[in-house]
A and B are shown apart, each in its own frame.
Chain A
Amino acid sequence: MDWVVFIVAAVVILVGALGVVTSSNPVHAALSLVLTLFGVAVMFVAEQAQFLAVVQVIVYAGAIVVLFLFVIMLLGVDQAENLEVEPLVGQRPAAIGVGIAALAALLLPILFGKWQWLSGQASVVGPAHTGTEPNVNRLATELFTRYLLPFEATSVLLVIAVVGAVVLARRPLASERQGETVTEEP
């Protein structure tokens, strides 16, 4: 049963990932991204990270992809892109070569069963599951004790992101625009 879930979710994830890269229409790419994100959420459930699966669906599929689609529709860039154009000569083969080299480098430790090279020490923070305690409890306990300072720092980060988005999206006032044209004049 676990294998069935894994194989189905893996196929969904890979089809979605290839769809993002190969589809010429940005809207289709965004919808393929939803497919991948749902597949990853299924994987999270299969690995007993239920809270993260819920957050993945709400934040990624619910907010981020909607934001992408919103910007695509707002800017009207949903026309198909010509994928044949290659701006730099040999860019595409070089990129695929780099991709294959990176894949080989990532897969070698896994193939030799030495994934410890990638992960480091075992269990430094605490067990992921203790008896019948739910995953949310364990995560919240760590988040509000050991990781309290990073958690507070993320609130600062979110405020900065909101302020930055407002500053970027706002139209300059008439007086500022005049100042701009004056300085641009040679």
Chain B
Amino acid sequence: MTVPGAWYLTLAAFVFVIGATGLLVRRNVLVMFMCVELMLNAVNLTFVTFARMLDDIGGQVVVFFVLVVAAAEVVVGLGIIVAIFRRRAGATADDISMLKG
């Protein structure tokens, strides 16, 4: 007996909201980044679920592209974080409130 797709969608909605709330609540830049990854994974799960429910391979192709973009995003994001930490030692996003160098 297979699990209906609605259960997967509900789970993905919960994971997405946990990630979004964490992004708003946490102050550590690295943890905020991990929350973005959580949200991306929730959306991936939704795409795969719809690919199964609608019997359409397009959803899985989109997940493939999301994985590539997520990898590129993490590389650039962590590069920016390392560049910021080289100038100042602070782990919170609130310390980086000024654009002035």
Contact = CB atoms under 8 A, between A and B. Distances in A.
26 contacts: A2-B1, A14-B14, A17-B19, A17-B38, A21-B35, A26-B91, A33-B38, A36-B38, A44-B48, A46-B3, A52-B67, A56-B67, A67-B74, A71-B30, A77-B85, A98-B21, A99-B20, A103-B14, A123-B55, A127-B57, A128-B57, A128-B60, A147-B65, A154-B69, A157-B68, A169-B83
B10 to A, nearest CB: 6
A21 B53 CA distance: 31
Q: Chain B interface mostly helix, strand, loop or mixed?
A: helix
Interface string A90-132: 0110111011101100110010010100110011111111000
A21 B92 CA distance: 15
Given A60-B37, A122-B54, 18 more contacts: A17-B38, A29-B30, A36-B15, A37-B41, A52-B60, A64-B74, A71-B78, A72-B30, A75-B82, A81-B28, A95-B24, A115-B5, A125-B61, A128-B51, A161-B73, A164-B75, A168-B82, A169-B83
Q: Chain A interface mostly helix, strand, loop or mixed?
A: helix
Contacts of A98: 20-21, 24
Specify which of B1, B18, B83 lies most central, judged by the most chain A CB atoms within 10 Å of its CB: B18
Contacts of B11: 10, 13-14, 43
Contacts of B82: 71, 74-75, 168-169
A164 B9 contact: no
B96 interface: no
Interface of A: 2-3, 6, 10, 13-14, 17-18, 20-21, 26, 29-30, 33, 36-37, 40, 43-44, 46-49, 51-52, 55-56, 59-60, 63-64, 67-68, 71-72, 74-75, 77, 81, 85, 87, 91-92, 94-96, 98-100, 102-103, 106-107, 110, 113, 115, 118-119, 122-129, 135, 138-139, 142-143, 147, 150, 154, 157-158, 160-162, 164-165, 168-169, 184
B53 A119 contact: yes
B100 to A, nearest CB: 11
A36 B41 contact: yes
A21 B63 contact: no
Contact of A168 (B1, B15, B46, B83): B83
Interface residues of B, number: 74
A123 B56 contact: yes
Contacts of B46: 118
B6 A20 contact: no
A56 B66 CA distance: 11
